[in-house]
């Protein structure tokens, strides 16, 4: 099944065209990455899919047109975004952050907390610690857990590796791969193109607001032109 389908999406901020005529999709079970330079429009694309940005075009989620649904309705339908910069409640504990994230969901909170703590044992050890005192990596894990606790059908991640130490970045990508393997479809945007493509099934390349390429993730990894522009030397 096609979990997400975006057709003719346009986002403008005044005279700035951030996203132009974007068509893209995610199939059930897929891990799809959108790579592209700073300012290419990746965040604007994700925020529009989540309903946080005004946009023109058609967005279908689980084969329903959600283009005019509010952000909360999209979350309730199973569309979760972990925004850039984490957005956790710093003065609250890990546990309280998870409670708030689960609020209004019909599933059993204790069971969901248990499954999140299974994925992130470190958060269980720190469940009574205030979120602001967690390390950067732990805060990112908490942000991810806040989305997972609602069992989304599609998990969207905006630059999850941002600001993390290289070792923690590698762990983060492993966790994302594991979440996808256990059945959650994932749409990831990343500047860390090489690592993201290494775990993805498919990728899109975004340049100045447009999708300029894409396809099988392994083929993108081997593409020499992409190499020069986005992967840096290694
Ligand atoms: P980054 O990785 O740096 O976040 P990005 O690919 O996610 O980049 P966007 O954040 O979507 O790109 O930005 C796309 C373009 O839209 C940029 O030129 C940016 O300056 C502009 N832009 C983004 N948000 C706004 C806003 N609220 N008002 C005006 N222009 C904006």
Q: Express each pLDDT in 89-139 by its tens digit.
A: 999 999 999 999 999 888 999 999 999 999 899 999 999 999 999 998 899
Confidence label for 233 from pLDDT (cuts 50, 70 and 90): very low
Positive or negative CA dihedral for 213, 184, 141, 46? positive
Nearest ligand 1 atom, CA 38: 3
For residue 17, what are the β-bridge partners?
Answer: 12
pLDDT surpassing 70 at residue 232? no
Kindly give the pairing relationship between strand 202-207 and strand 31-35: parallel
pLDDT digits (tens, 9 = 90+) for 164-208: 888 888 989 999 999 999 999 999 999 888 999 999 999 999 999
Nearest ligand 1 atom, CA 11: 16
Tell me what ipTM this predicted complex has.
Answer: 0.90
Around ligand 1, the residues with Cβ closer than 6 Å are 13, 16, 18, 36, 38-44, 191
Ligand 1 mutation pick, 43, 156, 188, 190, max ligand atoms within 8 A of CB: 43
Average confidence (pLDDT) over 142-159: 94
Ligand 1 mutation pick, 40, 53, 83, max ligand atoms within 8 A of CB: 40
Distance 67 CA to ligand 1 centre (A): 21
Q: Whose CA is nearest to atom 26 of ligand 1?
A: 13
Computed on alpha carbons and rounded to an integer, the radius of gyration of the chain in Å comes to 17
pTM score, two decimals? Answer: 0.92
Rounded to 10 degrees, the C-alpha dihedral 177/183/187/188 comes to: -20
Phi-psi region of 102 (alpha: psi -120 to 50; beta: other; left: phi over 0): alpha
Q: How far is CA 89 from CA 47, 97, 112, 222, in A?
A: 20, 6, 19, 41
- Predicted local confidence at residue 136, as pLDDT: 87
pLDDT surpassing 70 at residue 142? yes
């Amino acid at each position: 099944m096609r979990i997400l389908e975006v057709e003719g999406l346009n986002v403008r901020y005044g005279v700035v065209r951030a996203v132009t005529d974007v068509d893209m999709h995610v199939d059930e079970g897929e891990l799809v990455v959108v790579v592209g330079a700073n300012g290419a429009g990746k965040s604007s694309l994700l925020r529009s899919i989540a309903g946080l940005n005004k946009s023109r075009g058609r967005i279908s989620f689980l084969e329903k047109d959600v283009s005019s649904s509010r952000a909360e309705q999209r979350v309730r339908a199973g569309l979760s975004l972990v925004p850039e910069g984490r957005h956790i409640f710093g003065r609250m504990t890990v546990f309280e952050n998870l409670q708030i994230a689960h609020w209004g969901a019909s599933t059993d909170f204790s069971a969901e907390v248990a499954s999140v703590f299974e994925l992130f044992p470190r958060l269980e050890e720190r469940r009574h610690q205030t979120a602001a005192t967690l390390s950067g990596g732990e805060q990112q894990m908490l942000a991810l857990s806040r989305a997972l606790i609602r069992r989304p059908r599609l998990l969207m991640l905006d630059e999850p590796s941002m600001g993390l130490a290289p070792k923690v970045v590698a762990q983060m990508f492993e966790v994302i791969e594991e979440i996808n393997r256990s059945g959650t479809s994932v749409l990831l945007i990343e500047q860390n193109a090489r690592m993201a493509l290494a775990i993805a099934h498919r990728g899109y390349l975004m340049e100045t607001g447009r999708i300029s390429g894409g396809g099988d993730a392994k083929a993108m990894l081997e593409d020499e032109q992409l190499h020069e522009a986005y992967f840096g030397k290694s």
